[in-house]
Amino acid sequence: MSTAATLQELVQLSRELGREDRHLAILGEGNTSSDLGDGSFLVKASGTSLSTMSADGLSRVSHAKVDALLDRSDLSEQDIEDGLVACLADPTHKKPSVETFLHSLCLREPGVKWVGHTHTVSVLSILASKLGSKPFLRHVCPDAIVVCGRHVLLIPYINPGLDLAIAIRDGLARFRAEHGKPPKVILMENHGPVALGSSSAEVLNIMLMLDKWARVLLGSFAAGGPNFLSEEDAAKIDQRLDEAYRRKMIEAKA
């Protein structure tokens, strides 16, 4: 896919995630990105809105320049601000999102080419509760396993930016070591979800299914508490051949 085509598809994904009726993000919340395959990636520019995204609201950033910042341990807040601008692969572009570091790391996970981060009301209602991310450790319905993966990466609250990215980097490494592949979902307590996909359609599907999962959880707590699937049943759903086929069909229809 050409850079121009990727840019337009990222604009469309951003608008889909920013739709007001979906309650995934409002105002300047959330960000999106896509890898360009040449050592750089496109990411939402700081201060722009997903719902009204346009081509000039995206910034092209160098992975190598991001790595140079992540390798430093002596950065002040001003250094990070200056570093975000220095990371640009195209100096004519706007300063990228403070979550640029997070996106760079996620986009270089095996099979991941698109990333979306939102502040979904339903998901955040749980992540900001006293239960935190614990309700997402187990599943309540098969479809969430099919679309969001059996396991998710859970991250405690850390201030957005470089510190959060370093925690994400460590968490991704642990997740791959345990499960042999990257997560489809990262849940950051008191902050929101991140969806990692091989396509823009997969990222959107993950976010929509995650919203349903969270709303089902909230409803189940109001009705006496979740009746979680057993680990055995969850594993069967994750490994079934018909569900693997359905995963492919869901994305193809998106």
* Higher pLDDT, residue 141 or 251: 141
Q: Give residue 143's pLDDT.
A: 92
Q: Give residue 249's pLDDT.
A: 61
Q: Is 94 exposed, middle or buried (0-12, 13-18, 19+ CB in 10 A)?
A: middle
Instruction: Read off the amino acid at residue 18.
Output: G
Phi, psi torsion values for 186, nearest 5 degrees: -115, 130
**Is the per-residue pLDDT at 242 higher than 70?**
no
**Is the per-residue pLDDT at 86 higher than 70?**
yes
Structure tokens given for 62:
């160098």
pTM of the entire predicted model: 0.91
Instruction: Give CA–CA dist 254/247, Å, rounded.
Output: 11
**Is the per-residue pLDDT at 220 higher than 60?**
yes
* Higher pLDDT, residue 73 or 66: 66
Contacts (Cβ under 8 Å, ≥6 apart) of 28 = 47, 48, 49
Is-contact 93 60, C-beta < 8 A? yes
Strand partners, 33: 43, 115
Instruction: Give CA–CA dist 175/9, Å, rounded.
Output: 29
Q: What is each CA distance from 218 to 99, 126, 226, in whole angstroms?
A: 28, 8, 9
Q: Give residue 248's pLDDT.
A: 61
State the DSSP H helix or E strand holding residue 80, giving kind and residue range, or none if neither: helix 77-86
Instruction: Give CA–CA dist 82/80, Å, rounded.
Output: 5
**Is the per-residue pLDDT at 168 higher than 70?**
yes
Q: Give residue 161's pLDDT.
A: 84
- The angle subtended at Cα 183 by Cα 176 and Cα 103, nearest 5°, is 100
Q: Does residue 161 sit in helix, strand or coil?
A: coil
- Confidence band for 252, pLDDT divided at 50, 70 and 90: low
The pLDDT of 152-162, averaged and rounded, is 93
- Confidence band for 246, pLDDT divided at 50, 70 and 90: low
Q: What is each CA distance from 210 to 53, 63, 89, 107, in whole angstroms?
A: 23, 28, 33, 20
Beta strand 40-44 with 31-35 is: antiparallel
- Per CATH, domain 3-253 is 3.40.50.620: no
Q: What is each CA distance from 242 to 7, 57, 135, 165, in whole angstroms?
A: 34, 40, 27, 36
